[in-house]
Structure 1
Amino acid sequence: MPAVPASEVYTDSFAADPYPTFARLRENSPVCPVASPRFDSYLITRFDDAKAALTDPRLSKDLYGPGQHYLRIFGPNSEALNRNMLNSDPPEHSRLRRMISQAFAPRRIEALRPRVAQIVGELLDRIVPQGRAELMEDFAIPLPMRVICDLLGVPGEDQKRVLDWTQVIRTSGSGRKPEQDRAAVQEVQLRLHHYLAGLVKAKRAHPADDMISALIEACDHEGKLSERELVSTTFLLLFAGHQTTADFLGNATVALLTHPEQLALLRAEPDMLPAAIEELLRFDGPLPVASPRIATEDVEYGGVRIPAGSIVGVVINAANHDPEHFGEPDELDVCRERVGHIGFGHGVHYCLGVSLARMEARIGIGALLRRLPGLRLGVPVEELRRLPAASPFRGLLELPVRFSA
């Protein structure tokens, strides 16, 4: 089967609306090789296949194992930050996940609710008098970033530069030349690693009631984490703890503003918000393709043989629009019952921060609807600037909005 060329899927029009392409792949080539700007892979697009692939032990997450695929794709500086539970298989994954699962227990996350509400209020207090905002920079990105930094124990005076570093990684491929982009990302990786290693050292000398201190205790006194795992896990929690939530807040806002009847329903019935969040995640999730897997042996999906050694991408956003599982899947319906999406993944790599992400989304979107009357896009939807199509994330570079001050 010939690979689908990058020119057919990684374009500006694809970045603006990938769902027609996902529908064609799902219908005509539900399992197909695709040549991307970063690496070639097999894409799995139907819901049943996607859900099965997310739990298939033959599809390994250990891309730093034999073959060193991540080093080849993302460069020599990536391993120090990315060799963590996201890129590991059981039993290593199980050991690492156990170490941090208690910090994300629903009861502990619920205790963060007042702090999340406080941050939301502070951000909106700055926005409300203006009558306009750039909602990504002013709200969607700083909200989850401040929450995860508080949880980890990143000092307030450091949070701005840490945010700036992570945004270089997030926006890679947006406007810079490829060689400049790679150099910028690799430099930031080194800076982040140096900073996080120093923060761990400082917390070891002066522990506090935060997650990094708890991980250090596990590392030093229980021998359950190596120093490398400690720093890499801190990076994973920092980046994953804000990136997808920020992009989701932007995507959800655009979805509601371009579906005014659904927005009106939520304004009239705010108790519908928890269910609406799940539908908004299904409709336009921030992680269109699950992080890569590597086939450790020949596997078959949809009658297509995927050779051993192939990189496999499970297209979550295509699966979440599969008409075999969702009626009128391309319609936003905040009243949809039993959404059953896989936006948070499935199986042992199911998102550990799901409770925190849902809380931030419910409090954040609820506050936007209450405090920004007449909220509307500041530019036509087709003029919104998005992350490049080759980005692993689906999100916005900017989200200008207007409202009644």
Structure 2
Amino acid sequence: MEAPMHPLFTREGRKDPHPIYRRLRAEEPITRIVEPYRKIPFRLLTRYADCSEMLRDPRFGKDFTKWSPEERQRLRVSDEFEALGKHMLSADPPDHTRLRSLVAKAFTPQIVEGLRGRIATIAEDLVSAALARDASGMDLVSQFSYPLPVTVIAELLGVPASDQDDFRRWTTVLFTPADTEEQLAHLRATGFAFFQYFMQLIERRRAEPQDDLVSGLVAAEEGGDRLSTQELVGMLFLLLVAGHETTVNLITNGMLALMDHPEQHERLASDPSLLESAVEEMLRYCGPVETTTYRFALEDLEFGGVTIRKNELVVASLLSADHDESRFPDPDRFDVGRKPNKHIAFGYGIHFCLGAPLARLEAAIAVETLLRRLPRMRLAIPREELEPSSMLLLLHAKKRLPIVF
């Protein structure tokens, strides 16, 4: 008899997982659940201390090439996704160390700071375009939260504006559960389209380098070592997906939190010096990434009082950890001035998000622009009608966010 679907994967659980996480933290902080679409069992960690400890524990790995072909088949990883998956997020040391150091050379804080003016211009233009299209309101996701970061990362990579809609379509497919052969075939075709596109873009930049991140990654070298073509493709895939999908959710979730808490909205609007701490609180309170990607035990081990067997999958809930009562005073209170605020919304340990400075910058500019240009914005539909963008645990996101000005 098939086990019932875990409450986290139900429609109500995806809309509001916090009551479920609260119970798990109290009663079963390391719980075994099954992802219902591919029937994959894994351990879910929900407490801050366990999550942060696991994310820096070298006994857990991310390089699934260490698994046998039979074991990898459990995850239904196709050749296309094997090719896209060779990047630093799916690597262990020493490969991770090498990949991250090479990418960091082409993704410096100076490059990020140099984008400030362009990000501000894009944000202003998006609000102006929305007002010109409809002076009464818009869908914040499709008309602002999505086009802002996707335009920034596409320009940073050197992807033409004409191709940006393809990326939105492709990433939508990648974050949609696939549990039929037809859906899996569509998923594989999407992975192949991504792979082919990046292969062609890399070859063009090798032939004619430009002032963009792809050219920088092609040229990046350390100790005579360069990224292979497959590593370049995987890294571009990671930067594009992680570089826009998460920021879309950060902006959307953050603005929804402000609309849910009018007193905090007014507090931030009247005191712009709180912008930096407000973004950190948005990351903690309603972070864009709900859980980490899969890790697996490299050996039989004891962790948090639980026996975890070799190759058993483990996932940390960043969203739950950042609402842990033992770490954050009054964690379910949204406070734009909260300090200290040592959340783990960007992960922890060696896989801490390399794009965190860019996400913070984009969110700060987006929030400031929206507060200034649309000071009376509010939800256009009842709060309970908002739908999650995916039934997977990975992202904490809304499909749409209709607002009136």
Fold conserved between structures, TM > 0.5? yes
Q: What is the correspondence of 1:265-280 to structure 2 with a 5 Å cutoff?
A: 265-280=267-282
Q: What is the correspondence of 1:367-378 to structure 2 with a 5 Å cutoff?
A: 367-378=369-380
Partner of 2:163: 158
Distance 1:83 1:146 in 2: 24
Partner of 1:45: 46
CA deviation after TM superposition for structure 1 residue 64, in Å: 2.8
Change (3 A) 1:163 1:147: same
Partner of 2:321: 319
Deviations 1:30-78 (A, max 9, x none): 1111111232100111111111000000110112322355553243121
SS of corresponding position for 1:127: helix
Distance 2:67 2:351 in 1: 21
Distance 2:272 2:182 in 1: 46
When the two structures are aligned, how many residues end up with a matched partner? 398
Distance 1:243 1:209 in 2: 24
Letter in 1 for 2:102: M
Partner of 1:169: 174
Alpha carbons 2:287, 2:319 under 8 Å: kept = yes
SS of corresponding position for 1:308: coil
Distance 2:56 2:205 in 1: 36
Change (3 A) 1:219 1:279: same
CA deviation after TM superposition for structure 1 residue 196, in Å: 0.7
Alpha carbons 1:282, 1:343 under 8 Å: kept = yes
Partner of 1:31: 30
Alpha carbons 2:264, 2:335 under 8 Å: kept = yes
Partner of 2:62: 61
Runs of 4+ with deviation above 3 angstroms:
67-72, 176-180, 218-223
SS of corresponding position for 1:396: coil
SS of corresponding position for 1:73: coil
Partner of 1:236: 238
Letter in 2 for 1:233: M
CA deviation after TM superposition for structure 1 residue 142, in Å: 1.1
Distance 1:258 1:185 in 2: 36
Distance 1:402 1:340 in 2: 34
Letter in 1 for 2:173: V
Alpha carbons 2:279, 2:360 under 8 Å: kept = yes
Structure 1 position 122 matched with structure 2 position 128: no
If the length of structure 2 is used for normalisation, what is the TM-score? 0.94
If the length of structure 1 is used for normalisation, what is the TM-score? 0.94
Structure 1 position 9 matched with structure 2 position 8: yes
Change (3 A) 1:5 1:200: same
Partner of 2:108: 105
Alpha carbons 1:64, 1:83 under 8 Å: kept = no
Distance 1:188 1:74 in 2: 15
Query: Which has the larger displacement, 237-246 or 383-392?
Result: 383-392
Partner of 2:154: 149
Out of 365, 368, 373, the position equivalent to 1:366 is: 368
Distance 2:254 2:373 in 1: 16
CA deviation after TM superposition for structure 1 residue 391, in Å: 4.2
Change (3 A) 1:87 1:4: farther
Distance 1:347 1:12 in 2: 32
Alpha carbons 1:136, 1:250 under 8 Å: kept = yes
Alpha carbons 1:293, 1:311 under 8 Å: kept = yes
Deviations 1:287-321 (A, max 9, x none): 11111100011222321111111000011111111
Give RMSD over aligned pairs: 1.9
Distance 1:349 1:220 in 2: 20
CA deviation after TM superposition for structure 1 residue 395, in Å: 0.5
Deviations 1:336-370 (A, max 9, x none): 11110000111110000011000000001111111
Q: What is the correspondence of 1:248-397 to structure 2 with a 5 Å cutoff?
A: 248-397=250-399
CA deviation after TM superposition for structure 1 residue 221, in Å: 11
CA deviation after TM superposition for structure 1 residue 222, in Å: 4.2
Query: Which has the larger displacement, 65-74 or 77-86?
Result: 65-74
